[in-house]
Amino acid sequence: MAVNEREVRRIAELARLGIEDARVPMLVDELNRILEHMDVLSKVDTGRLAPVEGMGAGAMPLRHDAGPPIPLARTREEFAPELRDGFFTVPRLATHGDPDGGMESGA
Amino acid sequence: MSDDLLSMTAHALGAAVAAGRVRAVDAVDKSLARARELDGGDAPLNCFLTLADPAAHDEAIRMDGGHVDADAPRPLAGVPVAIKDNIATHTLPTSCGSRILHGYVSPYEATAVRLLRAAGAIVMGKANMDEFAMGSSTENSAYGPTRNPIDPSRVPGGSSGGSAAAVAAGITSIALGSETGGSVRQPAAFCGVVGVKPTYGRVSRYGLVAFASSLDQVGVFGRTVDDAALAFQVIAAHDPRDATSATAPVDDYRVGDGDLTGLVVGKPAEYFPESLDPAVRDRSERALDALRSRGATIRDVSMPHTELAIPVYYIVAPAEASSNLARFDGVRYGLRVPQPQLRDMYEATRSQGFGPEVTRRILLGTYVLSAGYYDAYYRQAQRVRSLIAADFANVFSSGVDVLFTPTTPTPAFPFGAKSDPYEMYLSDIFTVTANLAGVPAMSLPIGRVDGLPVGGQILAPHFGEAAMFRVAYALESVLGAEAHR
Amino acid sequence: MNPSPDTHESATDYEMVVGLEVHVQLKTSTKAFCNCSTDFGAPPNTNTCPVCLALPGALPVLNLHAVELAVRTASALRCTVHETSIFARKNYFYPDLPKGYQISQFDRPLATDGALVIGETEKHTPITVGITRVHMEEDAGKSIHDRYPDATAIDLNRAGVPLIEIVSEPDMRSSAEAGSFLRVLKQLLEYAQVSDVSMEEGSLRVDANVSARRRGETRLGTKTEVKNMNSFSGVERALEAEFARHCGMLDRGEAIVQQTMLWDGAKGEVRPARSKEDSHDYRYFPEPDLPPLVLTKDWIDEQSALLPELPAAKRERFASRYGLNAYDIDVLVADRELANYFEAVVVAHADPKTACNWVMGEVRGALNANNLDVAAFPIRPPDLARLLDMVQDGVVSRSAAKRVFAVMLATGGKPEAVARDEGLLQVSDDGQLDGWIDAAIAAHPDEWTRFRGGEKKLQGVLVGAVMKQSGGRADPRKVNQLLAERAKE
Ligand SMILES: [Mg+2]
Ligand SMILES: [Zn+2]
């Protein structure tokens, strides 16, 4: 399989990476030279195999529903690019269904 | 005080400081001075992105003044350590070698660093690395490459190149690195030091900035096998803050009487291909002879899916990375490139914050996870990954105790030698398998070729680090000075 | 029939098909994957830590209690809870989603294949809505768009709060059925004590998938997703509006476009959410930071055994054990606290019918009049039970008991003391009763004469008059007896 310029632009948008137009053909070329080596995988018979899901030996450890929260050694003011009244702020979005969001909330 | 302090093992220095025979501040000052010296000048090694100068000095003074909990055992008392810059420290910046985290100081500390500090170690600097650990040469650091102390015209390997170089250059005796596909073992091999990748889950990932979560492990460097084992012993622990942290009991890794009688060492054919650099093959065979001389049996084995490891790795790792690096969006911390629209802010921040290799891998990872490609790429890669893991399971269940291979196909290469991304990826060909299967592995020096170090790799079953170290101790003692010739 | 511009006309030719997706916030004290508090109303971004701020290197660790509550809910919805389920990452960029992905469950959810009975048909067959799946996930933070003119403000206090998503089959055929589903579900969740279930506070959120098809058609039409409803009635209105839009389009021969619509409650209309095509390429993959969630069958059974009695079971029991009628059962079961109050009265006072009458009448009346919660009701069940005992034992009359009740409500006094202090203890002393009877006869000579002449139905009037004379204190049984004796004289 190989990617074309349109697909590279699409995935760059998905990944929120601003790519200059001039760089797109180069990226198409680089990605395809990598993807070419991946094609070998499609020839491997993995019919009955389960994919690896979750590394490590055990099952999910569960923690008790109690604090205290992990403390922060520095205040938000010290690492936030922009903070107002305790809020992180970003350029203003329309209230609903903003083109950038997809969803109003993650749920 | 003389340079002796710098050539002391971590074990000896820790014991001496704990016993009051050596002052921590002298060890730390020597280390800082050497770092300043080697990272300065005309051909700087550029091992460090930040030096804890004078913080490490002050900390050592406090330690010498007894203002620390003297009751706890401190095997690394006063021992300066270098920490790879993708491991969170709350006293020094954690930039991951990236512009996007330029100047970012973590509000919390990684478990591995906390354990080192508790053992008395003093963090003396943050080591250079390929941006977000993506690379095999440290050329991908946003802050300039690190040079190989053995031959400054060559790369130190990567991505933990700064840590490996710091240890090789005698700045510290031990260092923390991180592994995703060989990022400790490969630079250890290139720089002629010992590098350990633990079993997945043996060392907490809490505070290790994620590249590919199912592959990442914090690893250690040492100038000697014993120092590496000592540092590893300190950081190997269950951590409730990492859901993938293992609860298996921690063994004593610092045992090895040099006798390998009854031990079966597998020699996988796929790691000794026709194309292998003859000198690397020669040093590897010599190492196998050394193991035989201590009573080990060498058995030819086959791990037929090895050749699929690089394609699998370069799907799984970028896929996870594309998701792990989504949090660098300029909203809560790190670089923000202001723009009137949110979407433009995201794109400007991320395109200016990430370098070319990181961008490439995010694109690749986004692509293989995207609608219509997931099954063909990501899911299929995870299936093939289970075949690679089965290769290890099969060979270890057939009576083989450990495997021995060269760590890399070639010694350190010159800067700019691998401009094609895939060619660079191939330098991890012998190391990515351990990450994919989650097994422990280490590299140690087994000789030199034209003055360049060659690494030998020992791989063991899950949680088989004790056996791995036992073999390493024996190999180191048989090879002696030959390991560095 | 003339073609009508009013789409509601043609709606009768079409059938509405609805499936719901309900997000429910679980009632835990800490977040799903970190130890931060879930308390509502803390200053912005103060209930945050390295994990829920998505600081580099931080890792999630799952909250046991969230799993317990999710499993109990799934059991209550009669789902199969899977012994192995897998967390996945749902990747998308939004400023209130700190990691750039939501930890959710995708192709191996916690539970599947449940059912919820939402009512019954006129012929008393149950109306059942299938539950496709129940999965666990974390909430996003809050984006506040109207606080600053130039910026959206982000508060991550809610980021990482545990949710379950309940997805129904497209089994509902009207907005009323959708409303019933939500009300029954809310009641179930309240009973299961897994959530505060408040749409106002956002602990319950509903998205609806709706399509229209010609009556008799078996295939599903193209659906749209409607979001942004903030009340159950809003859901019903939004469904009607969207259904009408579908019908109109179908009538005009237009194709329905699969898209997300937003409900505008103020305008009473739906409008398309602006979204880019990429917004639905979530690139789900198994969350590598979390091993599979493995539960044993025994543990799952234990969790469902911990569920309190659920509404359906309670309904059945109230009918079979206490012989209550359907209306009373509905009213009592609708409010779990009230049902518990009733049962507590029954435990202390053996006559369920009387207890029911009092709870349905006096207690509910007082609750409504004083706008009280059952929990805050001053007359506790044992006291009410003793008052009912006193009526039964003839210590106070029924009408006096109502006055005792009123005083207890006002003063918090005990029934015995109130009855005594207010002089409401029932009198069965012949001498005193005769006096009241004399006065009653004197006041109703006509009725007395007719009663003596055989008009037995007038006994009630006379007894009532005696009761009035006695201020409710006369023992009515005794009064009846004495009246009958005098009539024979
Ligand atoms: Mg959801
Ligand atoms: Zn938190």
Is the pLDDT score of B136 beyond 90? yes
Cβ-Cβ contacts under 8 Å, C47 against chain A: 69
Q: How far apart are CA A13 and CA A100, in angstroms?
A: 10
Q: Of C198, C188, C204, which Cα lies nearest the Cα of C333? A: C188
Per-residue three-class SS string for chain B: CCCHHHHCCHHHHHHHHHCCCCCHHHHHHHHHHHHHHHHCCCCCCCCEEEECCCHHHHHHHHHHCCCCCCCCCCCCCCCEEEEECCECCCCCCCCCCCHHHCCCCCCCCCHHHHHHHHCCCEEEEEECCCHHHCCCCCCCCCCCCCCECCECCECCCCCCHHHHHHHHCCCCCEEEEEECCCCCHHHHHHHCCEEEECCCCCECCCCECCCCCCCCEEEEEECCHHHHHHHHHHHECCCCCCCCCCCCCCCCCCCCCCCCCCCEEEEEHHHCCCCCCHHHHHHHHHHHHHHHHCCCEEEEECCCCHHHHHHHHHHHHHHHHHHHHHHCCCCCCCCCCCCCCHHHHHHHHHHHHCCHHHHHHHHHHHHHHCCCCCHHHHHHHHHHHHHHHHHHHHHHHCCCCEEEEECCCCCCCECCCCCCHHHHHHHHCCCHHHHHHCCCEEEEEEEEECCEEEEEEEECCCCCHHHHHHHHHHHHHHHHHHHHC
Q: Which of B183, B204, B245, B322 is catalytic?
A: B183
Instruction: Report yes or no: B190 and B226 within 8 Å, Cβ to Cβ.
Output: no
Cα-based distances in Å from C377 to B77, C193, C312, C338, C365: 66, 21, 26, 10, 12
User: Is a pLDDT exceeding 90 seen at residue A53?
Assistant: no
Which contacts qualify for C2-7: CB closer than 8 Å, 24 or more apart?
C3/C251, C7/C244, C7/C245, C7/C247, C7/C248, C7/C251
Distance A106 CA to ligand 1 centre (A): 7
Report the C-alpha gap between B149 and C305 in whole angstroms.
66
Nearest CA in chain C to A63: C63
Nearest C-alpha in A relative to B329: A16
Tell me if chain B has a CB within 8 Å of the CB of C144.
no
Q: Enumerate residues 6+ apart whose C-beta is below 8 A from B437.
A: B388, B389, B391, B392, B393
pLDDT for the residue C431:
84
User: Is A67 in Cβ contact with C92 (below 8 Å)?
Assistant: no
For residue range B315-352, what is the model confidence (pLDDT) as tens digits? 999 999 999 999 999 999 999 999 999 999 999 999 99
B482 contacts chain C (CB < 8 A): no
pLDDT tens for residues A62-79?
999 998 999 999 999 999
- Percentage with pLDDT > 90 across chain B: 93
B159 is catalytic: yes
Predicted confidence at residue C475, as pLDDT, reads 82
Q: Is the confidence at residue B128, as pLDDT, over 60? A: yes
Token digits for C290? 């979390």
* C409 CA → ligand 1 middle, Å: 46
Examine the pLDDT at A97 and tell me if it is beyond 90. no
pLDDT at res. C73: 98
Cross-chain Cβ contact C291/A103 below 8 Å: no
pLDDT(A54) > 80: no
In 10 A of CB A49, how many CB atoms? 16
pTM of the predicted protein model: 0.92
Band the pLDDT of B70: cuts 50, 70, 90: low
Per-residue pLDDT at A98 exceeds 60 = no
Q: Which pLDDT score, from 0 to 100, does residue B291 have?
A: 98
Name residues 69-128 of chain B within 8 A of C (Cβ): 86-88, 94, 96, 101, 104, 106-108, 110
Which pLDDT tens digit goes with each residue over B376-419?
A: 999 999 999 999 999 999 999 999 999 999 999 999 999 999 98
Say whether residue C442 is in contact with chain B using an 8 A CB cutoff. no
pLDDT confidence of residue C432: 85
Residue B161's pLDDT band (cuts 50, 70, 90): very high
Identify the chains in contact with C, defined as 3+ C-beta pairs within 8 A: A, B
Residue in the block written with tokens 């400007």: B348
The percentage of chain B sitting over the pLDDT mark of 70, rounded to a whole number, equals: 98
B chain contacts of residue A17, beta-carbon cutoff 8 Å = 347, 350-351, 354, 359, 362-363
Neighbours of chain B (3+ CB pairs under 8 A): A, C
B466: left (phi over 0), alpha (psi -120 to 50) or beta: alpha
- What is the average per-residue pLDDT within A17-25? 95
pLDDT of amino acid B251: 97
The active-site residue, picked from B30, B84, B126, B197, is B84
Q: Are strands B264-268 and C62-63 parallel, antiparallel or unpaired?
A: unpaired
For residues C27 and C197, the answer to whether their CB atoms sit within 8 Å is no
Report the pLDDT value the prediction gives residue C40, as an integer from 0 to 100: 87
Among all bound ligands, the one having the nearest atom to the CA of C51 is 2
Residue B42 has a pLDDT of 86
Q: Which member of C23, C86, C95 has the closest CB to residue A53?
A: C86
* Residue A101 pLDDT exceeds 50: no
Residues of chain C short of pLDDT 70, as ranges, are 1-11, 275-279
| Catalytic residue check, B245 | no
Task: Give the per-residue SS3 of chain C.
Answer: CCCCCCHHHHHHHEEEEEEEEEEEECCCCECCCCCCECCCCCCCCCCCCCCCCCCCCCCCCEEHHHHHHHHHHHHHCCCEECCEECEEEEECCCCCCCCCEEEEECCCCCEEEEEEEEEECCCCCEEEEEEEEEEEEECCCEEECCCCCCEEEEECCCCCCEEEEEEECCCECCHHHHHHHHHHHHHHHHHHCCCCCCCCCCCEEEEEEEEEEECCCCCCCCCEEEEEECCHHHHHHHHHHHHHHHHHHHHCCCCCCCCEEEEECCCCEEEECCCCHHHHCCCCEECCCCCCEECCHHHHHHHHHCCCCCHHHHHHHHHHHHCCCHHHHHHHHHCHHHHHHHHHHHHHCCCHHHHHHHHHHHHHHHHHHHCCCHHHCCCCHHHHHHHHHHHHCCCCCHHHHHHHHHHHHHHCCCHHHHHHHCCCCCECCHHHHHHHHHHHHHHCHHHHHHHHCCCHHHHHHHHHHHHHHCCCCECHHHHHHHHHHHHHC
What residues of chain C lie within 8 A of the CB of B370, using their CB? 281, 283
CB B355 within 8 A of CB C76: no
Return the pLDDT at C476. Answer: 81
Closest residue, chain C, to A107 (C-alpha)? C139
Give the rounded distance of the alpha carbon of B72 from its chain centre.
Answer: 28
Note the pLDDT tens digit of each residue in B413-471. 999 999 888 888 888 999 999 999 999 999 999 999 999 999 999 999 999 999 999 99
Q: Which two tokens stand for residue B114?
A: 């906390």
Lowest mean pLDDT of B69-78, B83-92, C154-163, name the range. B69-78
Q: A with C: how many residue pairs have Cβ under 8 Å apart?
A: 185
